[in-house]
């Protein structure tokens, strides 16, 4: 079993492998109070750990970013993290667009369009982009989000090769309650 991966977490890790027991926030989704290798840009770590497949997904959520209505500081923070991930994983695909017919099309509406979920800013590293994924990763995604029109965050989502298996396991566990 490999013990190397994002934030010192690895595929198939069990809940008992965590230094401090994570708090369950949804079925098989936990907020980890600590990770083996934290990064100063992030304040929260969410993990998906199923009973059989173990750790299959990690989401790291950045500290709150204060910004203008134009989103300049948000875009700058996103660009900086995207460059770090590109150094680590190589080729990626960036998605940066406003939904058709959005009323939030002026430059000063950037944060409102993000808050209204009518703007997408994300980058993906995967086999399709010919990224250099290691440590049993199947994909990495960097996404931007807004808390309100003057603050937001970015998050990195890491999916391991066992993610599909874990998702099916979790769905079966939930369906067993019906």
Q: For 57-105, what is each residue's pLDDT tens digit?
A: 999 999 999 999 999 999 999 999 999 999 999 999 999 999 999 999 9
What residue ranges define each of the domains in the chain, with the CATH number in brackets? 6-175 (3.40.1000)
- By DSSP bridging, strand 29-31 and strand 137-146 are unpaired
How sure is the predictor about 2, in pLDDT bands with cuts at 50, 70 and 90? very low
Identify the pLDDT of residue 176.
82
* Whether the Cβ atoms of residue 157 and residue 56 lie closer than 8 Å to each other: no
Query: Alpha helix locations (H) across the chain?
Result: 72-89, 110-115, 163-175
71: left (phi over 0), alpha (psi -120 to 50) or beta: left
Structure token digits, residue 89: 């994983």
Mean pLDDT within 38-54: 97
Sign of the Cα pseudo-torsion (105, 110, 112, 115, in order): positive
CA-to-CA distance for 103 and 98, rounded, in angstroms? 10
C-alpha 161/C-alpha 81 separation (Å) is 23
Q: What is the pLDDT of residue 94?
A: 98
The predicted structure's pLDDT at residue 3: 60
pLDDT tens-digit series, residues 121-166: 999 999 999 999 999 999 999 999 999 999 999 999 999 999 999 9
pTM for this model (two decimals): 0.93
Within a 13 Å sphere around the CA of 84, how many CA atoms are in the beta-carbon half? 12
* Contact yes or no for 118/149 (Cβ under 8 A): no
Structure token pair of residue 38 = 């934290």
Position 177 pLDDT exceeds 50: yes
- Averaged pLDDT, 13-36: 93
| Residue 50: how many other CB atoms lie within 10 Å | 25
User: What pLDDT is recorded for position 178?
Assistant: 83
Q: In this structure, what are the phi and psi dihedrals at residue 20, rounded to the nearest 5 degrees?
A: -120, 140
Of the listed ranges 18-22, 45-49, 53-57, 125-129, the least confidently predicted one is: 18-22
């Amino acid at each position: 079993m490999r013990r190397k991966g994002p934030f010192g977490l690895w595929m198939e890790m069990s809940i008992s492998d965590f230094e401090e027991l994570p708090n369950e926030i949804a079925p098989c989704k936990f907020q980890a109070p600590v990770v083996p290798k934290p990064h100063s840009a992030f304040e929260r770590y969410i993990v998906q750990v199923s009973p059989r497949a173990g750790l299959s997904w990690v989401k790291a959520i950045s500290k709150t970013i204060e910004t203008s209505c134009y989103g300049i500081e948000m875009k700058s923070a996103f660009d900086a993290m995207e460059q770090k991930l590109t150094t680590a994983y190589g080729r990626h695909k960036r998605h940066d667009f406003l939904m058709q017919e959005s009323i939030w099309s002026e430059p000063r509406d950037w944060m409102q369009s993000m808050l209204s979920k009518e703007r997408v800013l994300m980058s993906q590293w995967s086999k399709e982009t010919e990224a250099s994924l290691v440590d049993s990763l199947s994909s990495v995604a960097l996404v931007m989000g807004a808390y309100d029109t003057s603050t937001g965050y970015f998050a990195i989502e890491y999916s391991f090769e066992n993610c599909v298996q874990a998702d099916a396991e979790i769905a079966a566990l939930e369906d067993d309650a019906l």
